[in-house]
Amino acid sequence: MTHRLSRRTERLTSSLIRDILQITQQPGVISFAGGLPAEELMPDLDFDACAADSRQYGPSEGEPRLRALIAQGLSGLGLRCQADQVLVTTGSQQGIDLVGKLFIDEGTPVLLESPTYLAALQCFRVYGAAFHGLPLQVEGIDPDALKAAIVRHRPAFVYLIPSFQNPSGCCYTDAARRAVAAVLDETGTPLVEDDPYRDLVYSPCDRTPVCAYLERAPWVYLGSFSKITAPGLRVGYLASSPALFPWIVRLKQSSDLHTSRIGQAWLTHFIASDDFEKHLAHMNGVYAERRNTMQFALVRHFSGLAEWSAPAGGLFFWLRLVEDVDTLAALKVALTHDVAFMPGEPFFPVADQRYPALRLNFSHATPEKIEQGIGLLSEVLSQCCET
Ligand code: PMP
C-alpha cells in the first residue's frame, strides 16, 4: 500500500536527542546527553485534592486561577501582562509549535541564535522555515548583526532564548536585552522569547525578559513548569501581545482543545503554596553544587581540549572543542565506555556556522557520577583528537 504524505511530513527528521536518550537510559550509562531534571528533586504529585473538579472538559485558554498566577509572576519580572493574555499550553514545546503554525509558510524566513534549541529547529523546519542564524557571543547576539539580518531577510519573527540558553548556557546582559528590544521595536519585528530556564539560577545575572523592554513590536513569551517541577505533567504557558492572542487560542483549540486539567489543578495548588519557594531554593542549591562539580572536573580534564564558561543557570555546559573532532563519531566511541553527551552539530540552524562542540547536562547525574563521567569523556575525546 502506498501512502501519500504531506510535504510537511516528508521534511520530518527523527530527533537525534530522542534516539540518543533511549540508549542513554540503559542502566550503567553516565549520561550528560538529555536535559533531564533530577527525579529525586521532583515534588510528589498528589492528585487527590484536585481530581474531582478536573474530569470535565475545560477552557482552551487554561484554568483561570493558574492564568492569574502566571500573569502575576510575569508582571513581577517586569513583563506587564494580564491573565487574559496568558494561554496554558501542553508543555512549552506546544507553544513553539503554535508559533510555527501562526507565522510560518513554506520558505518563510526565521532568525534564530546559532546554536539554538534543537526541537525548535525541528518544529519550525516542518512548517517550511528558511533559517538564518545569528552567532551567539558571550553577552548574547550582536544587536547590529540582528538589525542587518532583519533588513536583509525580513523574517516573520526572531526566536531567542536569552536566559541560560539551550544549548550554550549563555545569559544575555541587560544591555544586550535592551539593545535587542530597541532593534525589534525600530523594525517592528515580532519576538518569540523562549524562557524555560529562568528560575534555575546559581549566580546573580540579568533575567528581565526581552519582551518586557518592547514598546511596539509584537511578542510571544514562552514559559514552562517542566524544569522546575516535573516534565511529565506537560504544563507550560505562553503570553502574547493582545493582537496575536486570539489567533493563538484558535490554533490551540484545533490542536488539543485544552491542556490536562489535572496537571493544571495540581500546579495551581503547588505554586500558590509556601512549598513552592522552598522547593525552588532546594533545587537550585543541588543544581549549583552539580554545576560546580562539573566545572571543577572540566578544569581538571578538559583544559587544552575545549573552551567553555560555567553557566550562571540552566542545565548545560557548552564546550567548544579546540580541534576539529567529529563529535557524532566521538559519541559512538563514548557509548562503548558507558558515557554519553550531546554532539553540538544538530543545534546549528545553518551548516556554515557550525563548529565542533559538546553539550553536557549537569542536573541529572550525581556529583560522584559527574566526576567519573567527565574523566571518562576526556579520555574518549583525547583519543579522538589523536586520530
Ligand atoms: N524550550 C527550550 C529551550 C527547551 O530546552 C525545552 C525543553 N528541553 C523546551 C522549550 C520544551 O519544554 P517543555 O515542553 O517540557 O515545557
185-203 per-position pLDDT tens digit? 999 999 999 999 999 999 9
pLDDT for 16: 65
- Reported in sequence order, the residue ranges of the chain that DSSP labels E, i.e. its strands, are 30-31, 86-89, 109-114, 130-135, 157-160, 191-194, 219-224, 236-240, 306-307, 316-321, 339-340, 342-343, 357-361
Question: Edge-to-edge, what's the strand order for the sheet holding 86-89?
Answer: 86-89, 236-240, 219-224, 191-194, 157-160, 109-114, 130-135
pLDDT-derived band at 25 (thresholds 50, 70, 90) equals: confident
Residue 130 scores a pLDDT above 90: yes
Give the count of beta carbons closer than 10 Å to the beta carbon of residue 352: 7
Ligand 1 midpoint to CA 93 (Å): 6
Q: Whose CA is nearest to atom 11 of ligand 1?
A: 93
Residue range 26-84, pLDDT digits in tens: 788 999 998 989 999 999 888 876 767 788 999 999 999 999 999 999 999 999 999 99
The ipTM estimated for the assembled molecules is: 0.99
Q: Is 163 in the pocket of ligand 1 (CB under 6 A)?
A: no
What pLDDT does residue 290 have? 98
Q: Please, which residues bridge with residue 223 across strands?
A: 237
- C-alpha 224 – ligand 1 centre gap (Å): 7
Instruction: Indicate if ligand 1 lies below 6 Å from the C-beta of 166.
Output: yes
- Residue 302 φ/ψ, nearest 5 degrees: -110, 0
Percent of the chain residues past pLDDT 90, beyond the cut: 86
Look-up of cell digits 511529565: 232
* CA pair distance 324, 226, nearest whole angstrom: 35
The rounded Å distance from CA 86 to ligand 1 centre is 18
Identify each DSSP E strand in 94-205 by its residue range.
109-114, 130-135, 157-160, 191-194
What is the Å distance from ligand 1's center to 302 Cα?
28
Task: Examine the pLDDT at 333 and tell me if it is beyond 60.
Answer: yes
